[in-house]
Amino acid sequence: MAFNAQANRGYAGLPLPFGWFAVALSDELAIGEIKTLQYFSQEFVVWRGEDGEARAVDPYCPHLGAHLGVNSSVQGNDLQCAYHHWELNGEGAVTKIPYTKVIPPVLKRNCLPVWPLFEADGVIYVWYHPRREAPMWEVARLPDCPDGDWVEVERHDWIVNIHCQEITENGQDYAHFNAVHGVQGPSEGEFALDGWGRRNKVTAQMVTPRGPMTGIIDVNAMGPGQSIVEYIDVSHVVQSQQVTPIDSEHTHIRWQMYHPPGISDGKLRVTKARIRDLVKQIHQDIPIWNNKKNKTDPILVQGDGPILAYRRAYQKFYDKAQE
């Protein structure tokens, strides 16, 4: 008997938060390259001009509606539509029509909706807002490196079947650390909200081959789409995590993992083991995320962690005018 496990999980149709979201890694978009991306329950087109800048626009040509991600090309810094070779710039204005001398003024203005785009630390972010309000904060950057520049050592990504709000709730769910990951939950936690950001600094007792030790997990989240986590224990790992809604039931998670420069081979082995452990942990979370139901009014008990505080804080990322 066919059974659609997705049908009753309670995520379909939930609103999407606004914010800066990763839509590609910088080296996935070469100069002159064009990509159609699907996030936020819609499509948009990104390209990189000769000047190295990435740009993002809505997918349909304002002329006669051709898809700008199909058979189009990059000319200089602009995007040339395949249908009539009109050229559009990153401000959504027509810059060239090859068979016409006079471009109507209405086409010289922004006639194609544009996605605010910012590229930082090897990631291309776009600003999503359901009513296309302008960006309200800046993309968060990696923390200062103690000595030189962070070295990217690994990157990972996953697509999970759940609303993006639940991915970042995981860090506040202290009681699952033991049940799911076999580690002790945070013995002390600091949960602080600051504007559009959230800091969650926890001290965890960890079991290592050399005996128990205290590890620090310092989460700096900015908006709903970015969490930068420093793990400071026997190794020092920076995890830049981005969660991006594909739609209200599917989320793309990306990790870029860094360590300080100039570490010894021994330290590198410990660092890689630490990262392997983090990857193992998300692989323990994913089956739960892929199958769980949305519980909007859970009965929580002492020891559950600041789940409700997190949820209340998250509400500010939903557009009130849309609801």
Which residues contact Fe ion (rule: CB under 5 A)? 170, 285
Q: Which helix (H) or strand (E) holds 313?
A: helix 307-314
- Least distance in Å: CB of 173 to Fe ion? 7
- Least distance in Å: CB of 187 to Fe ion? 17
Q: Phi and psi at residue 208, in whole multiples of 5°?
A: -120, 165
- Least distance in Å: CB of 275 to Fe ion? 15
Place of tokens 């990696």: 142
Specify the 3-state DSSP secondary structure of 287: helix
Residue with smaller CB distance to Fe ion, 82 or 180: 180
- Least distance in Å: CB of 207 to Fe ion? 17
* Spatial contact of 156 and 240, defined as CB atoms under 8 Å apart: no
CA dist 158 and 152 (Å) reads 18
Q: Which helix (H) or strand (E) holds 202?
A: strand 197-208
Which of 14, 29, 11 shows the shortest CA–CA distance to 292?
Answer: 11
- Least distance in Å: CB of 183 to Fe ion? 10
Residue with smaller CB distance to Fe ion, 170 or 271: 170
Residue with smaller CB distance to Fe ion, 179 or 207: 179
- Least distance in Å: CB of 177 to Fe ion? 7
Residue with the shortest CB distance to Fe ion: 285
- Least distance in Å: CB of 176 to Fe ion? 6
CA dist 127 and 271 (Å) reads 33
Residue with smaller CB distance to Fe ion, 78 or 285: 285
175, burial (CB in 10 Å: exposed 0-12, middle 13-18, buried 19+): middle
Residue with smaller CB distance to Fe ion, 217 or 228: 217
Residue with smaller CB distance to Fe ion, 247 or 285: 285
Place of tokens 């995520």: 11
* Spatial contact of 137 and 195, defined as CB atoms under 8 Å apart: yes
3-state SS string over 97-151? CCCCCCCCHHHHCCCCCECCEEEECCEEEEEECCCCCCCCCCCCCCCCCCCCCCE
DSSP letter, residue 226: E
Which of 204, 221, 224 shows the shortest CA–CA distance to 277?
Answer: 204
Residue with smaller CB distance to Fe ion, 49 or 185: 185
Q: Which helix (H) or strand (E) holds 194?
A: strand 188-194
- Least distance in Å: CB of 285 to Fe ion? 4
Residue with smaller CB distance to Fe ion, 80 or 170: 170
